[in-house]
Structure 1
Amino acid sequence: MKEKVFRNPDAVLDIQDKPRALPWIGLSLQHLFTMFGATVLVPKLVGLDPGIALVSSGIGTLVYLMITKGKIPAYLGSSFAFITAMQMLLATKGYGAIAQGAITTGIVYFIVSMIVKRSGTDWLNKILPPIVVGPVVMVIGLGLASNAANSAMFNATGDYDFKYVLVALLTLGLTIFFNMWFKGFLGLIPILLGIVSGYIIALAFGIVDTSIIQQAAWFALPNFEIPFVQYTPTLEIGAIITMAPIAFVTMTEHIGHLMVLNKLTKRNFFENPGLHKTLAGDGAAQIVAGLIGGPPVTSYGENIGVLAITRVHSVFVIGGAAVFAIALGFVGKISAVILSIPGPVISGISFVLFGVIAASGLKILIENKIDFDRKKNLLIASVILVTGIGGLVVESGAFTLSAMALATVLGIFLNLILPNVARNEEK
């Protein structure tokens, strides 16, 4: 029987809609610019080549789209969850150890994927009711709010700079203007227009480092690290033990992002194509990254924010961004231009992107008519929001449980153990 095709009436371009050539380029570049800063920041912090991170994110995204049958508009970029572990392993063992850890996390994803396929997803509704999902989605949006604000206020030396604040606010104002008043194609790319406008303003204020553009080569072969080609791998049990548990942290983020996408696209990706497919896609992308020399990847909330603002949910647009990312991994000059976009410009955009995601979480609570006069609901939401937005983390050696993952775990735990009605609420 042929699968019934659903189309989201609120989407400008729905998941399977293919844009015309020129708009397609602009829409894909918008996603590329949005994810670029975070994707190249991870390898910079670890000591890997940013070019290979772009290539691995692009290939990983295409692999994910293929495994999920082109049904989920998600972009996969470098994961921040593995930074501490990768820094330690690169300093002591070299990239081969990181590769084994990344491949192992991908295998963990596959194992969990098979378990989910056998057990179904009914359990998700029990552990992730609206009172947990809503605040978790809000945390996804607001968890990096302080980082965005700091980038809008402090310069490279850590000093407060009013020029930075002004550039961030002007970028924010222009992005809102483009989103509200532009029509047609220009109305679909407010984020891209905001970044370009903000960059021009930043140039006028003299806060753009153009030296990295001048020094960059037009063609730059990424620093591939392919086993048995660039190096001979040896079994690194320590790396495997260190990185494998972190897979469960990124799985929590993965599920959280799917919740947001479900809401935006009016679909249930847990059922179609199925959580097992999305986990397998993410795991395969991580394995690909480990095989070519990149950091592990994960879905990006920033790109989900673009989906929410533009209402362009096309997987063809996401795929286009992935192709551009792969190409830019080889074009040093253009990569340097994007890399030179200063923090205040990205912050001005982030104020919108992160806020839209947070508002989606609030919408979940409103639509499900969550009663906050009930103490259980009030306590669950309070704990998730404060621990998640406050940045509470659990660290043990190289293992780190991120604030978002910890907030989700605490929310699930409280929902399962707290009675529906407190004793002093009983009549």
Structure 2
Amino acid sequence: MAKKEKFRNPDAILDVYEKPPLGEGILLSLQHMFAMFGSTVLVPILVGINPSIALLSSGVGTLVHMICTKFEIPAYLGSSFAFVATMQALMKMDGYPAITQGTIAVGLVYVLVAFIIGKFGSDWVSKVLPPIVVGPIIIVIGLSLATTASNDAMMHNQKYDLSYFAVAIFTLAVTLFFQMYFKGFTSLVSIMLGIICGYILSVCLGIVNFSGVAKAAWFSLPAFDFSFVSSHFRWYPEAILTMAPIAFVTMTEHMGHIMVLNSLTKRDFFKKPGLNRTMLGDGLSTIIAGLIGGPSTTSYGENIGVLAMTKVHSVWVLAGAAVFAIVFSFVGKVAALIESIPMPVIGGISFLLFGTIACNGLKILVDDKVDFGQKRNMMIASIILVIGIGGAYLQLGKFQLTSVALSTIMGMLLNWILPKKAASERAQDKKIKEAKK
């Protein structure tokens, strides 16, 4: 760990470099692990990846990020939701190998951007991805998954099942109950509590299959997938070109989280250790996840919420949570139990999670006071939303650019090509100026 700084945040109970007593540290670390657990394992369940791999890549990725940032940033990395729709499509077409190459490509984009930022600074990032582009893209990421959430909640063997839908609505209701009527730690782990309650109802209704749990060993290696280096290796350019552009969207989420951490800890992590180091940490974490068959990783708002609530900002606590995630990934019974969670439970939670992602996009537009009275802004947002939510994609032979990736690229291109104001708006401005004279 890095040496203690002279500066100490007076608002913190434990500051960034301060180490808690062992007993307290274990409980605080477990709290962080439970905060990220629900979302981190939900991504692989939605995609069809083994949850134990996601837990392992989450823990290892967090430690790698800490090393890259000199143990100066209290951040936790978990599975990213931004790539779910793309990974689901790739899993149906080509399976693990395609997802692996796409995930590694995402990590390499991060590493490349980290190098550019280290060389030329970070001012250009906001020009490439202004709020009018980022907001609608995040809305698309959330709403493009809406159909998946609904199908998981309603359908059993491709037929509508009322008991499934009841479980989904019950899971959602319980989650909302814990979120809105409780405070502190209970509110923070409302997603996990919702999953547990939905699971219990599913057991009572007889829609849970425990055969996998019974067969699983207590200790087992995570289901690694090393197809990237197999003897039957082949390239999946469609996976690489589909997933890589979405990295530019998750970078904005990454930078937003750093800004929140700056405010909480009263530091400027963009300057020290530097945005290039935080990007490098995210990139290497994602590359490692891809190599072992896991999903892309990203910094987690859930854990930032824990930091804000407890005022415990210690990197030791976050490192402990990462170690616990790694340990649990080797407990076979836990992985099998997670995999036995029925889809309506996941669907019920997804109603909230995917909608929350979309609302974060709206929040960016509101917070940055984007003016939709300007034709330029209206056109950029309209095209991104319709292409992304409508499911439009580019198909060239076997190559497919998914709706999320296509809308991201279109948004970036339109932001670059379109003038600040339309000709009619410039003419109107001229008339107003002349009238004032």
Same fold (TM over 0.5): yes
Q: 1:300-321, CA deviations, whole angstroms, 9 ceiling, x for partnerless residues?
A: 7xx5467679965967676555
Name structure 2 gaps, 5 residues minimum. 429-437
Deviations 1:341-360 (A, max 9, x none): 12222222222222223222
Tell me how far apart the structure 1 counterparts of residues 273 and 125 of structure 2 sit (CA, whole Å). 15
Matches within 5 A, 1:322-401: 322-396=322-396, 400-401=400-401
8 Å Cα contact 2:384/2:411 also seen in 1: yes
Kept after mapping to 2: 8 A contact 1:140/1:256: no
Shift of 1:221: 2.4
The answer to whether the 8 Å contact 2:28/2:317 transfers is: no
d(CA) in 2 for partners of 1:362, 1:12:
33
Q: Which amino acid in the other structure matches residue 151 of structure 2?
A: N
Alpha carbons of structure 1 residues 320 and 64: separation in structure 2 relative to 1, 3 Å: same
CA distance in 1, matches of 2:113, 2:40: 27
Hey, what does 2:167 align to over in structure 1? 167
Q: How does 1:202-213 map to 2 (within 5 A)?
A: 202-213=202-213
Give the counterpart of 2:73 among 68, 71, 74: 71
Does residue 31 of structure 2 align to residue 29 of structure 1? no
Inter-partner Cα distance in structure 2 for 1:63 and 1:53: 15
Q: Is the deviation greater in 202-211 or in 279-288?
A: 279-288
3-state SS of the aligned residue for 2:208?
Answer: coil
* 1:261 equivalenced with 2:266 (yes/no): no
How far apart in 1 are the matches of 2:232 and 2:209?
42
Decide whether the 8 Å contact of 1:174 with 1:197 is kept in 2.
yes
Aligned-partner Cα distance in 1 for 2:363–2:282: 27
Deviation at residue 161 of structure 1 after TM alignment: 1.1
* CA shift digits 1:59-112 (9 cap, x unpaired): 123212332345363424386556777888889xxx7x9988876765554334
| C-alpha distance in structure 2 between counterparts of 1:166 and 1:383, whole Å | 36
Q: Which residue of 2 aligns with 1:132?
A: 133
Structure 1 residue 123 and structure 2 residue 124: aligned? yes
Residue type of the alignment partner of 1:180: M
Name the CA distance, whole Å, in 1 between partners of 2:133 and 2:16: 27
In 1, are the aligned partners of 2:387 and 2:403 still within 8 Å (CA)?
Answer: yes
Counterpart mapping for 1:304-323 below 5 A: 304=301, 319=319, 321-323=321-323
Check the 8 A contact 2:62/2:75 in 1, yes or no.
Answer: no
The separation in 2 between residues aligned to 1:387 and 1:269, in whole angstroms, is 36
- Give the CA RMSD over aligned residues: 4.1
Contact 1:15 1:73 in 2 (8 A): no
Structure 1 segments unaligned to the other structure (5+ residues): none
Q: How many equivalent pairs are there?
A: 409
Aligned counterparts of 2:360 and 2:101: Cα–Cα separation in 1: 37
Check conservation: 1:60, 1:297, Cα contact below 8 A: no
Q: For residue 297 of structure 2, what is the aligned residue in structure 1?
A: 298
1:196 alignment counterpart: 196
Distance 1:141 1:316 in 2: 33
Q: Deviations over 1:181-220 (max 9, x none)?
A: 1133323321221111121122222222222212222121
User: TM-score if structure 1 supplies the norm length?
Assistant: 0.78
Query: Residue 358 and residue 307 in structure 1: after superposition, are their counterparts in 2 closer, same or farther (change >3 A)?
Result: farther
- For residues 171 and 142 of structure 1, what CA distance do their matches in structure 2 show? 20
Residues 8-47 of structure 1 aligned to structure 2 (within 5 Å): 21-22=26-27, 24-39=29-44, 42=47, 44=49
